[in-house]
């Protein structure tokens, strides 16, 4: 199968402009994500999808493949669709460019074992929420699924509400996704719904328009960099990994 890894890298973040180029021990954040994708078995190609020449220039300097995409995209899903129009593949693996701690082993869990054509296929990683503060952190998207692993609801507030029992393991969204071309086409053509507007969660495009999202659980060290404070935490974790020899800066 032809499986392509894509890292959307938008320069103009409102909370953290230039975020993909944020320095982590002499390398831009996007480099750390790219290097983890290089370790994933089963990817035929890795592409940074960016809208900014500064990011493109850094990719060239560090030997990372990239594609220039429109500055007008409002979501990463729009950017992925544009790449899918330029690069043919059986599946497209999205890894958010603000997840420098993501492990390659976790990414491998979302790779399909067989082709899915003629229908929409969209899978997303999730992981156990271990820090209680994350349950009330609106930047962390909480997930509930049915017994088959398909999404029932996603929310920025804690779900489900523990009225009947406190014996429940909360799950949170991880920015690692798998789409076939039909899924990206569907997302591009479907209308943004009222829940997507309210929660500001792009993936509701599928649920509100009648398609399923398969969630796959994995043990993941995930800390998305939304603010400069998050970057400080990420640097601390990476420093520890470097000291233990778990990571190397090439």
Highest mean pLDDT of the ranges 115-119, 200-204, 234-238: 200-204
Average pLDDT over residues 189-211: 96
**pLDDT at position 2, please?**
95
pTM for this model (two decimals): 0.92
Q: Cα Rg for the chain, rounded, in angstroms?
A: 18
1, 31, 107, 156 from 21: Cα distances, Å: 32, 9, 22, 27
Q: Does residue 234 belong to any structural domain of this protein?
A: yes
The residue with greater pLDDT, 98 or 186, is: 186
Q: Does residue 250 belong to any structural domain of this protein?
A: no
The residue with greater pLDDT, 125 or 97, is: 125
Q: Does residue 64 belong to any structural domain of this protein?
A: yes
Average pLDDT over residues 192-207: 96
Indicate whether 134 pLDDT > 90: no
Give the residue numbers spanning the domain of 127: 3-244
Average pLDDT over residues 165-193: 94
**pLDDT at position 29, please?**
92
- Within 10 angstroms of residue 129's Cβ, the number of other Cβ atoms is 19
**pLDDT at position 162, please?**
87
Q: Does residue 249 belong to any structural domain of this protein?
A: no
Mean pLDDT over each residue of the chain, to the nearest integer: 92
Q: Does residue 84 belong to any structural domain of this protein?
A: yes
Q: Does residue 94 belong to any structural domain of this protein?
A: yes
Instruction: For residue range 217-245, list pLDDT tens digits in order.
Output: 999 877 778 778 888 998 999 999 888 88
Tell me how far apart the alpha carbons of residues 56 and 48 are, in angstroms, rounded to a whole number.
8
Q: Which domain CATH number covers 40? A: 3.90.550.10
Percent of the chain surpassing pLDDT 70? 99
Indicate whether 14 pLDDT > 70: no
**pLDDT at position 124, please?**
97
Q: Does residue 232 belong to any structural domain of this protein?
A: yes
Average pLDDT over residues 19-27: 92
Tell me how far apart the alpha carbons of residues 231 and 17 are, in angstroms, rounded to a whole number.
13
Q: Does residue 102 belong to any structural domain of this protein?
A: yes
CA 42 to chain centre: 18
Tell me how far apart the alpha carbons of residues 27 and 64 are, in angstroms, rounded to a whole number.
13
Domain count, the chain: 1
| Residue 116 phi, psi dihedral angles, 5° rounding | -130, 110
Indicate whether 132 pLDDT > 80: yes
Indicate whether 98 pLDDT > 90: no
- Relative to beta strand 23-24, strand 27-28 is antiparallel
């Amino acid at each position: 199968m032809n499986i392509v890894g894509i890292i959307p890298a938008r320069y103009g973040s409102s909370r953290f402009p230039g975020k993909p180029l944020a320095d982590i021990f002499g390398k831009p954040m996007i480099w750390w994500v790219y290097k983890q994708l290089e370790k994933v078995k089963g990817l035929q190609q890795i592409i940074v999808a960016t809208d900014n020449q500064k990011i493109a220039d850094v990719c060239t300097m560090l030997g990372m493949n990239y594609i220039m995409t429109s500055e007008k995209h409002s979501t990463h899903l729009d950017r992925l669709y544009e790449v899918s129009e330029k690069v043919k593949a059986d599946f497209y693996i999205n890894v958010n460019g603000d997840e420098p701690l993501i492990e390659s082993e976790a990414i491998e869990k979302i790779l399909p074992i067989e082709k899915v054509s003629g229908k929409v296929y969209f899978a997303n990683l999730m992981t156990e929420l271990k820090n209680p503060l994350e349950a009330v952190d609106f930047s962390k998207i909480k997930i509930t699924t049915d017994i088959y692993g398909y999404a029932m609801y996603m929310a920025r507030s804690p779900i489900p509400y523990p009225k009947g029992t406190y014996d429940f393991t909360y799950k949170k969204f991880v920015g690692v996704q798998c789409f076939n071309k039909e899924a990206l086409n569907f997302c591009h053509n479907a209308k943004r719904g009222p829940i997507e507007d309210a929660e500001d969660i792009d993936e509701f495009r599928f649920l509100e328009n009648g398609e399923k999202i398969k969630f796959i659980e994995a043990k993941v060290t995930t800390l998305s960099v939304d603010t400069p404070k998050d970057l400080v935490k990420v640097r601390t974790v990476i420093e520890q990994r470097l000291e233990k020899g778990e990571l190397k800066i090439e």
